[in-house]
Amino acid sequence: MTLPLLVVTAVAAEADAVRAGADPDHVVVEPVGVGPAAAAAGTARLLATGRYQAVISAGIAGGFPGRAPVGSTVIGLRSIAADLGAETPDGFLTVDELGFGTSVLPADPSLVRSLIEALPDAIPGDVVTLSTVTGTAATAERLAASYPQAVAEAMEGFGVAVAAGSLPFAELRTVSNPVGPRDRAAWRLKDAFAALSTASGALWKACG
């Protein structure tokens, strides 16, 4: 029997958008909570109570200007915990630089290739995971400089990747707003949810 694909989102609205486009016979979609800790715990619970062929962290995201415009779809090549580390007088040190582990988890290469083939208009690149969404130009510029391959920021990917362990993992996001000063009125949530539903239609094609 072919195992289903597990797709986890942060909130119910994202899960509904994925379900609207995904194959319900082969794709299980569940919201697991906001932030890397909730995402890791929720994903681990699902993996402990069911069998799946792969895990995808999906939802909406902020896109880095000049890299992933609003309305676009991105495929994460790596999920990076961009605020996991320590502040110092000389700047931020990642957990890698501190010698306490890694802040970078790569997506499964085969799964990424299949997603790129199924979604040829999607933008591949790194997705940074943050516990605090960027709301200033200064933070956006620092992140863009620190992670030159990053195309988007979200809040769950790294946590889902940790929980996935040896199971194939990837991150799929649609961009609702630019990374930078917080302007909720300018967010295009409806467009991002619609793009998420469209992209989700390709998930089983990529993984089945």
The 3-class SS string of 69-108 reads CCCCEEEEEEEEECCCEEEECCEEEEHHHHCCCCCEEECC
The one-letter amino acid code at 146 reads: S
Note the pTM of the prediction, 2 decimals.
0.94
User: Where in the sequence is the domain holding 199, given as residue range(s)?
Assistant: 5-207
Dihedrals phi, psi of 201, to nearest 5 degrees = -65, -20
- Which CATH number belongs to the domain containing residue 129 in this structure? 3.40.50.1580
Q: In angstroms, rounded to a whole number, what is the distance separating the alpha carbons of residues 43 and 57?
A: 9
92: nearest Cα among 54, 138, 55: 138
Task: List the pLDDT tens digit at each of the 208 positions of the chain.
Answer: 589 999 999 999 999 999 999 999 999 999 999 999 999 999 999 999 999 999 999 999 999 999 999 999 999 999 999 999 998 998 888 899 899 999 999 999 999 999 999 999 999 999 999 999 999 999 999 999 999 999 999 999 999 999 999 999 999 999 999 999 988 888 899 999 999 999 999 988 777 6
Domain count, the chain: 1
